[in-house]
Amino acid sequence: MSDPFINKVAESGLITLDPEKYYPRGETSVFDLKDFLFMGLILKEKDYREALKSLDWEQYRDKIVAVTCSADAVIPVWAYMLAASYLQPVVKDMVMGDEKELHKTIFLKNLSQIDTNEFTDKRVVIKGCGETPIGDFVYMELTKLLRPVAKSIMYGEPCSTVPVYKRK
């Protein structure tokens, strides 16, 4: 008679946290102030205000929008504020910066929604392999969030982990 198969990973009490679960979802768009510059260099207030009034803001409906200026021009703060005042009623969310900054900001915002209480005194494995490329900043943020509450933090897969933190 053979011994029964024992799944030691299942019995270990490890909790796996998959960063992909918090990956930014939803349609994104960029609002680029360069499109409103006179000769690609100067923002004329009157022209800018008129252009914003006549713009079809529905193109940004329910999107996550990056507000930026990709041209090498000095843009006054009020110009970004004015764009935000038009965008806010229609967008799902908006971020100051380019698409990369938008992705990072939304990812961090999603991570901040984690209820760390569910990880109190638990052994946590932060999943390290997946289909979606996850930035290093995500793993650092998860460690920062979980270290105060978790019993231990590991990186990788439950069958093969790298210890990161263990409460003494």
Do 16 and 36 reside in the same domain of the chain? no
Residue 49 belongs to some domain of the structure: yes
Residue 2 belongs to some domain of the structure: no
* Residues in contact with 14: Cβ distance below 8 Å, sequence separation at least 6, in sequence order: 123, 124, 125, 154, 158
Residue 54 belongs to some domain of the structure: yes
Do 128 and 162 reside in the same domain of the chain? yes
Do 52 and 32 reside in the same domain of the chain? yes
Q: Which own/partner contact pairs does 12-16 have at CB distance under 8 Å and 24+ positions apart?
A: 12/123, 12/158, 13/122, 13/123, 14/123, 14/124, 14/125, 14/154, 14/158, 15/119, 15/122, 15/123, 15/124, 15/125, 16/124, 16/125, 16/127, 16/158
pTM of the model: 0.81
Do 18 and 33 reside in the same domain of the chain? no
Residue 101 belongs to some domain of the structure: no
Do 76 and 44 reside in the same domain of the chain? yes
Residue 116 belongs to some domain of the structure: yes
Question: What is the spatial distance between Cα 119 and Cα 165, in angstroms, rounded to a whole number?
Answer: 14
Do 80 and 126 reside in the same domain of the chain? no
pLDDT, one tens digit for every residue, the chain (168 residues)? 566 544 444 445 799 999 999 999 999 999 999 999 998 889 999 999 999 999 999 999 999 999 999 999 989 999 999 999 999 999 999 999 999 999 999 999 999 999 999 999 999 999 987 788 899 999 999 999 999 999 999 999 888 899 999 998
The boundaries of the domain holding residue 46 are: 28-91
Residue at a domain's end among 91, 120, 137? 91
